[in-house]
C-alpha cells in the first residue's frame, strides 16, 4: 500500500530524480522543494519561487514521470505550489466505474497521462521542415483511427530523432488526440526502462503473465525510447509478444527511438521487423525560422501570461544560440525569464547574454568568423576552398555548396548581405537570392534539410 506520508513520497521521488539529473541541476531546482500534503491522490510540493515552478513544469516533466514510475508511484499526481500562492486544482484522471473507464477489467493501464505532460498536445507542436512528416503521420493516426484500412499502413508508427526534438510530445499528443475522440479507449504510455523495472519485479515473483496481459488489453500502446532495448534480452521477448498480439488484433502502436529501426544495436531481428512494418518518420533539429516560431508559441502558454514582453532581439539571440533541440531552446528561454525575474527587471538582451554565459561559460557575443563557415562548408562538400570562393561555375558541384555557405554565414554569423557578397565577389542581391533558394529547397527536400541542419549544428 502506498504511503500517505508526503515526506516519504517526496523522498522516493527525489531519489529517482537524483539518479537522472546532473548534480548542479538537482541542487538548483529540486533540493529547495519541500512536500506539503497528500490529498486525493495528489502530492503538493512547495517551490521557492514562481520561476522555479515554471522551470520544473516546463523542463522536467519527463524526469518527474520517470521518477514516479520507477518509485511505483505512476498514478500519483503532483502539484507545485509557490509559497503563499494557491495553485489550480489538477484535473483528476478517470477512475473505475466513471466515464472513460472499463469496470469489467482489472485496471489495465490508466487512459491518461502524467499531469506534467499537460502541454504535450498536437495543436501545441510547432511544425518545421524537419518535422513535417512525423507530425503529418501523428495527425493521420488520430484522424484515421477506427476507419477502414488504407494502402499506407501507419501501424506501428515509428518516430526517431535526437533527444529533445519532440518525439515524446508527438507520441503523447497522439494518445491525447485519440482519447479526445473516444474517451473509452485504453491508452498506455510506457517507457522501456520503466517496463524493464516492472518486469524485473514480476520475474522475481515468478508471475509475468498478468503483466503481459495487462498491456495486451490496451487499444493503443505508446512505447517510448526503444533504443534502450538492446541491452535487455528478456524485456525484448516480452515486448515482442505484446506487440505481436496488439498488431494481430488491429491495435495501434506508436514507438519512439533516437535511431531508425535498422540501426538499433542488440535488438532481435524479429523485433526490428515489427518496428518496420508500418511508417517510419524522423524529426530533425528545427531551422532558425522554426525556432523563432517555437519560442513565440511557447510564450502563448498560460504559464507565461504574467511575463513581460520578450523583445525580438532577445528571441533572435536565443534562437541563434540554442540550435540543438527544442528542449534546449525552451530551456534557454525559461532561464532568461528566470534570471530576469531574480533581479527584478524585464528580459533584455543583456540578461540573455548573462544567462547564456552563466549556462555555457562562453562569451555570448563571440562571433564565428565567416571564413570558418566557408571552410567547413567546402570540406563537407569535398570541394577545394578556392573553388568555393572564386571559381565561376553554374555547375551544381560548385553552385550548391556556395549557396549553402552563404545561407550559413547569414544564419550563424548574421553576416550582412554586402559582406557575404564581397567574400564571393558577388552583388548583395545575388546573395539574397541564393539564401532564399536554400530556404525553399530545405522546405521541400527533407534530405537536403537534414544535411544543411547537420552542418549548421557542427559549426555552432
In the annotated binding site, the residues are 164, 166-168
CB atoms within 10 A of CB 205: 10
- Nearest Cα neighbor of 187 from 260, 100, 84 is 100
| 323's grid cell | 540550435
- φ, ψ of residue 279 in degrees (nearest 5): -105, 135
Q: Give the burial string for 7-31 (b: 16+ CB within 10 Å, else e).
A: eebbebbbebbeeebeeebbeebbe
| 166's grid cell | 519532440
DSSP string covering 86-116, please? PPPPPPPPP-TTSTT--TTS---S-SS--GG
- 49, 191, 228, 319 from 326: Cα distances, Å: 24, 20, 22, 10
Return left, alpha or beta for 5; rule: phi > 0 is left, psi -120 to 50 is alpha, else beta.
beta
HSE-up of 305 (CA within 13 Å, CB side)? 3
- Binding positions for ATP: 164, 166-168
Contacts of 393 (CB under 8 A, 6+ apart): 387, 399
Element (H, E) at 157: strand 157-161
- Nearest Cα neighbor of 255 from 272, 268, 234, 241 is 272
Decide if 402 contacts 396 (C-beta within 8 A): no
- Say how far residue 61 (Cα) sits from the centre of its chain: 11
With vertex at residue 308, the alpha carbon angle to CA 304 and CA 310, rounded to the nearest 5 degrees, is 90
Q: Is 227 exposed, middle or buried (0-12, 13-18, 19+ CB in 10 A)?
A: middle
| 123's grid cell | 495543436
Decide if 332 contacts 322 (C-beta within 8 A): yes
- What are the beta bridge partners of residue 406? none
Amino acid at each position: 500500500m502506498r504511503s500517505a506520508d508526503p515526506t516519504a513520497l517526496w523522498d522516493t521521488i527525489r531519489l529517482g530524480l537524483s539518479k537522472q539529473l546532473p548534480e548542479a541541476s538537482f541542487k538548483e531546482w529540486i533540493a529547495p522543494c519541500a512536500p506539503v500534503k497528500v490529498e486525493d491522490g495528489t502530492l503538493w510540493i512547495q517551490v521557492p519561487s514562481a520561476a522555479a515552478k515554471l522551470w520544473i513544469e516546463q523542463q522536467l516533466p519527463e524526469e518527474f514521470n520517470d521518477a514516479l514510475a520507477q518509485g511505483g508511484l505512476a498514478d500519483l499526481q503532483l502539484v507545485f505550489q509557490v509559497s503563499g500562492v494557491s495553485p489550480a486544482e489538477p484535473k483528476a484522471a478517470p477512475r473505475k466505474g466513471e466515464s472513460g473507464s472499463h469496470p469489467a477489467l482489472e485496471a489495465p493501464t490508466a487512459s491518461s497521462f502524467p499531469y506534467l505532460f499537460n502541454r504535450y498536445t498536437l495543436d501545441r507542436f510547432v511544425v518545421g521542415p524537419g518535422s513535417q512528416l512525423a507530425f503529418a503521420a501523428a495527425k493521420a493516426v488520430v484522424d484515421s483511427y477506427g476507419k477502414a484500412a488504407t494502402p499506407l499502413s501507419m501501424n506501428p508508427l515509428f518516430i526517431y530523432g535526437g533527444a529533445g526534438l519532440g518525439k515524446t510530445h508527438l507520441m503523447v499528443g497522439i494518445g491525447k488526440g485519440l482519447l479526445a475522440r473516444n474517451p473509452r479507449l485504453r491508452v498506455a504510455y510506457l517507457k522501456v526502462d520503466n517496463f524493464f523495472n516492472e518486469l524485473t519485479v514480476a520475474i522475481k515473483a515468478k508471475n509475468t503473465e498478468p503483466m503481459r496481459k495487462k498491456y495486451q488489453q490496451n487499444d493503443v500502446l505508446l512505447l517510448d525510447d526503444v533504443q534502450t532495448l538492446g541491452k535487455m534480452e528478456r524485456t525484448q521477448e516480452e515486448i515482442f509478444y505484446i506487440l505481436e498480439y496488439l498488431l494481430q488484433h488491429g491495435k495501434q502502436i506508436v514507438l519512439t527511438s533516437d535511431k531508425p529501426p535498422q540501426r538499433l544495436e542488440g535488438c532481435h531481428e524479429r523485433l526490428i521487423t515489427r518496428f518496420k512494418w508500418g511508417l517510419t518518420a524522423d524529426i530533425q533539429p528545427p531551422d532558425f525560422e522554426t525556432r523563432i516560431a517555437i519560442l513565440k508559441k511557447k510564450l502563448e502558454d498560460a504559464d507565461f501570461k504574467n511575463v513581460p514582453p520578450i523583445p525580438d532581439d532577445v528571441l533572435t539571440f536565443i534562437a541563434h544560440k540554442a540550435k540543438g533541440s527544442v528542449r534546449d531552446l525552451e530551456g534557454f528561454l525559461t532561464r532568461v525569464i528566470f534570471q530576469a525575474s531574480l533581479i527584478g527587471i524585464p528580459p533584455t538582451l543583456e540578461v540573455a547574454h548573462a544567462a547564456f554565459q552563466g549556462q555555457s561559460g562562453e562569451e555570448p557575443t563571440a562571433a564565428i568568423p565567416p571564413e570558418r563557415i566557408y571552410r567547413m562548408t567546402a570540406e563537407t562538400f569535398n570541394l577545394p576552398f578556392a573553388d568555393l570562393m572564386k571559381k565561376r561555375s553554374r555547375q551544381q558541384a560548385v553552385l550548391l555548396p556556395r549557396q549553402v555557405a552563404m545561407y550559413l554565414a547569414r544564419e550563424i554569423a548574421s553576416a550582412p548581405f554586402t559582406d557575404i557578397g564581397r567574400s564571393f565577389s558577388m552583388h548583395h542581391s545575388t546573395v539574397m537570392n541564393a539564401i532564399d533558394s536554400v530556404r525553399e529547397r530545405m522546405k521541400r527536400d527533407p534530405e537536403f534539410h537534414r544535411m544543411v541542419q547537420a552542418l549548421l549544428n557542427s559549426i555552432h
